[in-house]
Amino acid sequence: MRFYTTQHKFYCGIDLHVGWMYCCVIDADGEVRMHKNIRTNPKAFLHALQPFREDVVVCVECMFTWYWLADLCEDEGIPFVLGHALYMRAIHGGKAKNDRLDSHTIAALLRGGLIPQAYVYPRRMRATRDLLRRRNHLMHKRAELYAHIQNTGSQYNLVDPLGRIAKPQNRRGLIERFDHACVQKNIAVDLALVDFYDPLLAELERYIEKTAHSHDPVSLALLRTIPGVGKILALVMLYEIEDIARFPRVQEFVSYSRLVKSARESNGKRHGTSGKKSGNAPLKWAFSEAAVRFLKNNEPAQKYLAQLATKHGKGKALSILAHKLGRAVYFMLKQQVAFDQAKFLAT
């Protein structure tokens, strides 16, 4: 965890909401210089901060409303710090809690160098990343429709399995295989939604891929050199990583990707693991999926996994492979080199 330790004359802590924002400015001695609730709009914020513009840093907790404030501070040349919500325990652990107290606590933590930092994702690629996440959300919804159709077939114990209904040709005559009219209507609703999702998702993928080629085509091409990593996995890795240089060490990258477990130790004794939800969930999914697809029609990789499975079991072997792929991606992007399978399996 990184902490913001740069010294300033003034420290502004903000408890940010949709309509209002509680601002607290303290000086280097800890004295409160301004503490009030203002409207959530740029003019009101800049007006309130005007007396302290000489040397002030602004900090907010990482909630869904921070985008506009980060962009405004960047345009105005004001240092901006994003506090990691999961690690800002001082806000959530007090006896009393309200916006006024929270804003002062953020300012005090900022002054003391105790603000755990979250990454301020640059605006250049941020909107595309959010669009890609939305695409993945819709894809999960479509998968739920397929699962519901398959479960309905199991409920009525159809003689023949439904097969791979993700393929349009396998969906012909699907409704008629059920006898009850209400069940047929249920399946028809699912299929209608699937037919709506298919062209929408295809158009969305083309748009995102076109945008990615204008952002970082080299890194996208390098990621596609990994066997089994196709268009979507490469895009997820590209936009969730954004800039590999923000990770000084490979250990920090694999931790951010949820590919390693954090140990809980005290007095030399280990007490299990923690931090399962700390890190980037889409990257965890991407590397886990890449590990499975890396094995498809890849005999050397399958032999390598079998060796790992002999020692660790199949489940842990796949986790080790995903971790290894994460480390490989880090050095590929860092050194701007393509994936080398011989080197990957030899180490």
166 and 241 in one domain?
no
Q: How confident is the model at residue 202 (pLDDT cuts 50, 70, 90)?
A: very high
143 and 85 in one domain?
no
253 and 287 in one domain?
yes
* pLDDT value, residue 41: 93
96 and 195 in one domain?
no
Enumerate the β-bridge partners of residue 273.
Answer: 263
* pLDDT value, residue 89: 72
* pLDDT value, residue 191: 94
107-126 pLDDT, tens digit per residue, is: 999 999 989 999 999 999 99
Q: How confident is the model at residue 267 (pLDDT cuts 50, 70, 90)?
A: low
Kindly state whether residue 225 falls inside one of the protein's structural domains. Answer: no
* pLDDT value, residue 86: 79
Kindly state whether residue 200 falls inside one of the protein's structural domains. Answer: yes
Collapsing DSSP to helix, strand or coil, 82 comes out as strand
Spatial separation of the C-alpha atoms in residues 286 and 158, rounded to whole Å: 35
* pLDDT value, residue 346: 87
Q: How confident is the model at residue 279 (pLDDT cuts 50, 70, 90)?
A: confident
Enumerate the β-bridge partners of residue 32.
Answer: 26
How many domains would you assign to the chain? 3
256 and 292 in one domain?
yes
Mean pLDDT on 283-304: 95
Is 31 a residue whose pLDDT tops 90?
yes
Question: Which H/E stretch holds residue 32?
Answer: strand 32-39
342 and 248 in one domain?
yes
Q: Quote the radius of gyration of the chain (alpha carbons, Å).
A: 25
Q: How confident is the model at residue 305 (pLDDT cuts 50, 70, 90)?
A: very high
196 and 133 in one domain?
yes
Spatial separation of the C-alpha atoms in residues 178 and 59, rounded to whole Å: 58
162-181 pLDDT, tens digit per residue, is: 888 888 888 888 999 998 99
Residue 146 and residue 153 in contact, taking contact as beta carbons nearer than 8 Å? no
180 and 75 in one domain?
no
Last residue of a domain, one of 111, 138, 156: 111
Helix 231-241, helix 281-295: angle, nearest 10:
150
Residue 240 and residue 320 in contact, taking contact as beta carbons nearer than 8 Å? no
Spatial separation of the C-alpha atoms in residues 210 and 227, rounded to whole Å: 22
136 and 39 in one domain?
no
DSSP sequence for 285-318: HHHHHHHHHHHTT-HHHHHHHHHHHHHH-HHHHH
Q: How confident is the model at residue 275 (pLDDT cuts 50, 70, 90)?
A: low
Overall pTM surpassing 0.75 (yes/no)? yes
54-101 pLDDT, tens digit per residue, is: 999 999 998 889 999 999 999 999 999 999 887 777 666 667 788 899
Collapsing DSSP to helix, strand or coil, 43 comes out as helix
CATH of residue 74's domain is 3.30.420.40
Average pLDDT value over all residues in the chain: 92
DSSP 279: S
Q: How confident is the model at residue 347 (pLDDT cuts 50, 70, 90)?
A: low
* pLDDT value, residue 239: 97
Enumerate the β-bridge partners of residue 25.
Answer: 12, 34
* pLDDT value, residue 64: 85
* pLDDT value, residue 94: 67
Is 269 a residue whose pLDDT tops 90?
no
Mean pLDDT on 277-295: 93
Give the residue from 102, 109, 46, 56 showing the smallest Cα distance to 79: 56
Q: Which domain holds residue 288?
A: 231-265+277-346
Give the residue from 208, 186, 185 showing the smallest Cα distance to 139: 208
Report the Cα 137 to chain-centroid distance in Å: 12
Is 16 a residue whose pLDDT tops 80?
yes
Report the Cα 14 to chain-centroid distance in Å: 24
* pLDDT value, residue 261: 80
Percent of the chain with pLDDT over 90: 80
Is 273 a residue whose pLDDT tops 80?
no
Spatial separation of the C-alpha atoms in residues 176 and 173, rounded to whole Å: 6
217-266 pLDDT, tens digit per residue, is: 999 999 999 999 999 999 999 999 999 999 999 999 999 999 988 777 77
